[in-house]
Structure 1
């Protein structure tokens, strides 16, 4: 019997090897039962290498084809492990690093040269006279000078005078005589726009008497004030209004970007004692005795159907401290307020025209 070493090996030619003759069994991820070695045969690899060189015109470059074949399936090719090839690879890697450094430097220089022109504040102040109220935030995000303009007294005074109409009945503290005061100018102008500016006033008029879903923004909010008053001149007659003023809890995020510091000369313009405050107004058909909840934290707020199946029922649960994240709410030591039957439920922001304010 002939020895195993004398078996005649099959010879592959580059002309015979094409994309159709290469099978799945020639790759490293193939079934080990088909290919026991787990890698491409040397003859097939050399034939594929020659064909790729001929197609790509890379007869002179030996390292580029090697990179393509090795990155395609982590294929180990025999005969390419010599020290000369390693040195050639290291040289090619060094050249690519230098090229990448040059490209990154050029890109950095092009970015610095294409930053644009820095316009003075006077130009941004002139452009601000044509900004709509709903675009003030977008305008302030253009650049630092545009943001500086939105901090000035001139910007908010012009915005108020541009939309002021004498036929609109404004509260006393929103009249033009009070607008001339610098303190809380921004807050007063924003409140006046919900009376004067049609897109804002129509938005307020479309707010329903009952929210579509129970608001979750009040959870873990602190009750600052609480009072009850009887409403007169309303339909139906004899409604009682329960007012809860809440201060929304501020969530501090780690890694938050530092905000721009407000100039000292414009700090009074942006002063607002009602920032992050909400007013919950619940109207009932009769007077309901409720405990004192000022200084407590709201941990539960639900709106359900009343017992008579014709109205609504509001339930508020207060605790001495807010619920920490990840912990369940406990009824121990809590104060419960149940209002039933309810006529309407409204959640008012500080800029709402019906937000109770005396300044």
Structure 2
């Protein structure tokens, strides 16, 4: 084992290295006799890292020149401090390396202790919530506990509705301002109205294809709560038959380690009430009427497949129902259960509870 005193000192400093002096040979053809580990020397690596960070800061910045230079200086200072702390090597009889490690740990603890933020009152978060876009509500609620509490209030959802409401908007009666005077189901009604009023949300609905690209597996192990059939007029000469299946997903069990302080306040529970939560609507339009037994209501969907019809011009939807749900970790049952085949199929659509065409229960 070589002694520490025989360690060779580096003949150059990080400040002496620039981009012109770094070659491919420093990486690929490094002489193992010079560097026993076969890797790039630490001083060279620190200097390259420092210069790359400086160049990235200058290229990524788009502000004025003074701001660019100030940011570059801060990067250099922080990089220099880190490099100097990492390059400390004890000389012969100069000290114990354990003391250096203790100093590094102490600096890290001090930097962590200095990162404590300020706790702003909830009134400030309520003012800031007036400038939040609908698609950023979740990000805003994840900032802190007070921001999340603001998203639970009726004032937040009422202001969000008024901000995007217009008199010439075509809204159903249940989403008109007079119908939103009650606090019950306020959040669900505002979210549904945004898919009529807010253009980015309405664009999602208009761009949905009549047939999904792949078979949706969201409904697997869901319970069929309701089923009805009606005749609708379409673009074809004959009318279409619309089969509607309302499924309810099993609510996930709440974990015991969840922070109880983040439970919904009691006075705002009516605001977040939603009878259609965890519900989906499967809408299948067929060219002919097909008899389906009403016994499927209350059964669990175990299989859904969308294939090509026998005439090779349309599609075929096959649904398989079981009496009880399949628990996690269990294999699929061998018995076929009750199968429903819809053929030929014109279109298939899976709707969430916030879809404009979803029939609400409230």
In the superposition, the TM-score normalised over structure 2's length comes to 0.70
What residue number does 2:353 align with?
350
Q: Deviations over 1:243-267 (max 9, x none)?
A: 1111123455878644711111111
- Once residues 160 and 318 of structure 2 are traced to their aligned partners in structure 1, the CA distance between those partners, rounded to angstroms, is 42
Cα deviation for residue 110 of structure 1 reads 4.5
1:314 and 2:292 are equivalent in the alignment: no
Identify the residue that residue 244 of structure 1 maps to in structure 2. Answer: 245
The residue aligned with 2:265 is 263
Q: Provide the aligned length of Structure 1 versus Structure 2.
A: 280
Deviation sequence 1:24-56 (CA, Å, 0-9, x none)? 9xxxxxxxxxxxxxxxxxxxxxxxxxxxxxxx7
Residues 297-348 of structure 1: per-residue CA shift (max 9 Å, x gap): 1000000000111000000000011223343323426100000000100000
Distance 2:345 2:165 in 1: 37
Task: Give the 3-state SS of the residue equivalent to 2:359 in structure 1.
Answer: coil
RMSD, aligned CA:
2.8
Cα distance change of structure 1 residues 63 and 127 upon mapping to structure 2, 3 Å threshold:
closer
Matched, 1:273 2:275: yes
Alpha-carbon distance between aligned partners in 1 of 2:191 and 2:254, rounded to the nearest angstrom = 27
- Give how far 1:228 is off: 1.0
Displacement of 1:96 in angstroms is 7.5
How far the C-alpha of 1:215 sits from its partner, in A, is 0.4
Q: Which moved more, 1:231-240 or 1:156-165?
A: 231-240
Partner of 2:56: none
Q: Which of these two proteins has the greater Rg computed from alpha carbons?
A: 1
Partner Cα distance (1:323, 1:201) in 2? 36
- 1:60 corresponds to which of 93, 108, 112: 93
For 1:125 and 1:311, how far apart are their aligned partners in 2?
A: 53
| Residue number among 318, 338, 342 corresponding to 1:339 in the alignment | 342
Distance of 1:160 and 1:133 partners within structure 2: 10
The structure-2 alpha-carbon separation of the partners of 1:139 and 1:308, relative to structure 1 and needing over 3 Å to count, comes to same
Who is 2:200 aligned against? 199
5+ residue gaps, structure 2: 1-5, 7-31, 38-88
Q: Residue 141 of structure 1 aligns with which residue?
A: 142
Is the CA contact (8 Å cut-off) linking 2:276 and 2:361 kept in structure 1? no
Task: Give yes or no for the alignment of 1:285 onto 2:287.
Answer: yes
